[in-house]
Amino acid sequence: MSAQATLADAPNQLDVSPGNPCPFLRALVAGGWLNDEVEPLGKVRDTIVRASGRPLPGAVIVAIAVIANGLTPAPMLRNARKGLRLSALRGGPLDKRSSGSRLIDANGQFQAPELDRLASFASPKPLPLGGHELGLNLPQITAMMDANFARARSTRRRVDRAMMNAEWPVLLKFMGKDAADGTRYLCVEEVQVLVRDRRLPGRVVERLGGERAGG
């Protein structure tokens, strides 16, 4: 599978810790919109809302960020006071580990075979100006998440499947495109650029106020 994209080691990108397993957050860090170490919860909330281009419940985003580094009182209090540690999300309560897409391994490396697997759930979507591109609509995303949960039978937690609903379906809202038939879908090529190259689509970058890394 090929994609026209800037490579992940482009000189104007910032480093991203392997401890940050979320492709969307990794792209925000690489682009310079969020700090990979500690970021105040208000800035995390405002950045995600801007990137989405949609009205989002800011209080929910903050509540998730409070528990993201641990469910015991100490890390929750630390996050509330000092901010979210994006470099310490891996292994935390929101990390689905092997129940997720497995697109990024524990060392922060992109896994191409897993993208091919994701693409196997997609189908050609008609473009408004003609032609097609490979994409996943919500039913296809749901089928992929169900399959991810099923293959992790020996290690999964019951909560992992519920947490998936706050990942790919939300990414569909943030990055989704509208096909000629009105169906909203995730473009597989854009998912590759996001995960492999840590790059957001131009329309998301515009909502964030333009490129930041290296500037």
What percentage of the chain exceeds 90 in pLDDT?
82
Once rounded to an integer, what is the mean pLDDT over residues 145-155?
94
- Domain count for the chain, please give it: 2
For residue 158, is it within any domain?
yes
Position 64 in a domain: yes
Q: Which helix (H) or strand (E) segment is 82 a member of?
A: helix 73-82
* Last residue within a domain, chosen from 34, 60, 93: 93
Judge whether 215 lies within some domain. no
pLDDT of 9 above 60: no
| pLDDT tens digits along 52-84 | 988 889 999 999 999 999 999 999 999 999 999
CB neighbours of residue 51 within 10 Å:
22
Residue 3 has a pLDDT of: 36
Within 8 A by CB and 6+ apart from 26, the residues are 16, 20, 104, 108, 198
Do 23 and 83 lie in a common domain?
yes
The answer to whether position 189 is within a domain reads: yes
Mean pLDDT of 92-102: 89
**How many Cα atoms are found within 13 Å in the side-chain-facing hemisphere of 153?**
3
Q: Identify the pLDDT of residue 192.
A: 97
Question: Whole domain around residue 22: which residue ranges?
Answer: 16-93
* Same domain, yes or no: 144 and 176: yes
Q: Is 123 found in the same domain as 158? A: yes
Position 2 pLDDT exceeds 80: no
Band (pLDDT 50/70/90 cuts) for residue 212 is low
First to last CA, the chain: 31
